[in-house]
A and B are shown apart, each in its own frame.
Chain A
Amino acid sequence: DAKTTQPPSMDCAEGRAANLPCNHSTISGNEYVYWYRQIHSQGPQYIIHGLKNNETNEMASLIITEDRKSSTLILPHATLRDTAVYYCIVRGYNTDKLIFGTGTRLQVFP
């Protein structure tokens, strides 16, 4: 699976958009980009995934660059409950395995 690179930490003011970047320059054509988050001492929670098109759901938006070498997770209106570690994971089409990197620790402040 392709390796991902994320900033170790980010801050965001409550109510503002949180934009979390991820680099996956070695991604191959059949690999998906997945985002999970983990709130302290809980199991990870699925957020969103995509292949090449931008995706949006009730939690977030995922913007994938045209060359697919990077992506950005957008939380449009961050709340204090969005404070968590966010993991960007590249997953092959033919596998269910998720290999977690170090993630980005997002701190939302009042």
Chain B
Amino acid sequence: GAVVSQHPSRVICKSGTSVKIECRSLDFQATTMFWYRQFPKKSLMLMATSNEGSKATYEQGVEKDKFLINHASLTLSTLTVTSAHPEDSSFYICSASRLAGGHNEQFFGPGTRLTVL
């Protein structure tokens, strides 16, 4: 159990277009989901915390108008990269939080590799 999927796994887009990435918890309900980005050979950087039915909480330095997050249901959160530019090319990873063994454990998706031309 506790599987998190992401779609698409890879996407290539032209500069100036918007890209939507979906994160789904397949076998559990997640009131909280998280979005990270990771540049090559770097660590994961938390972008935002997504709570079902409310506005996302963004980390310092992350533009909320650039990275739109919607958490419409307990199993789905989406990240839309608006007006993408080459510097937005990165590996985007989501996670979903679930109570397991007495603590809230984060289960991570497989990631989405975005390339902006």
Cross-chain contact A98 with B110 (CB below 8 angstroms): no
Partner of B32, one of A44, A96, A101: A96
Say yes or no: is B75 at the interface (Cβ < 8 Å to chain A): no
How close is A98's CB to chain B, nearest CB, in angstroms?
6
Partner of B106, one of A38, A41, A46, A101: A46
Number of B residues near A (Cβ < 8 Å) is 24
Partner of A43, one of B46, B97, B105, B111: B111
Number of A residues near B (Cβ < 8 Å) is 18
Residues of B within 8 A of A45 (CB): 108
Interface residues of B in 95-117 (CB under 8 A from A): 95, 97, 103-111, 113
A41-B91, A43-B110, A44-B93 given as contacts; is B46 within 8 A of A97 (CB)? yes
A43-B108, A44-B108, A102-B43 given as contacts; is B4 within 8 A of A96 (CB)? no
Instruction: Say what secondary structure dominates the interface of chain A.
Output: loop
Cross-chain contact A42 with B110 (CB below 8 angstroms): yes
CA distance A64 to B113 in the complex (A): 36
Q: Which residue of A lies closest to B44 (CB)?
A: A100
How close is A50's CB to chain B, nearest CB, in angstroms?
11
How close is A3's CB to chain B, nearest CB, in angstroms?
13
Residues of A within 8 A of B104 (CB): 96
CA distance A97 to B51 in the complex (A): 12
Q: Which residue of A lies closest to B94 (CB)?
A: A43
Residues of B within 8 A of A101 (CB): 43
Say yes or no: is B34 at the interface (Cβ < 8 Å to chain A): yes
CA distance A98 to B32 in the complex (A): 13
Cross-chain contact B43 with A98 (CB below 8 angstroms): no
Given contacts A43-B93, A49-B103, A97-B49, 14 further A-B contacts (CB under 8 A): A41-B91, A41-B111, A42-B110, A42-B111, A43-B4, A43-B110, A44-B93, A46-B105, A87-B43, A96-B34, A97-B46, A99-B46, A100-B36, A101-B43
Chain A residues close to B by CB (< 8 Å): 32, 38, 41-46, 49, 87, 96-103
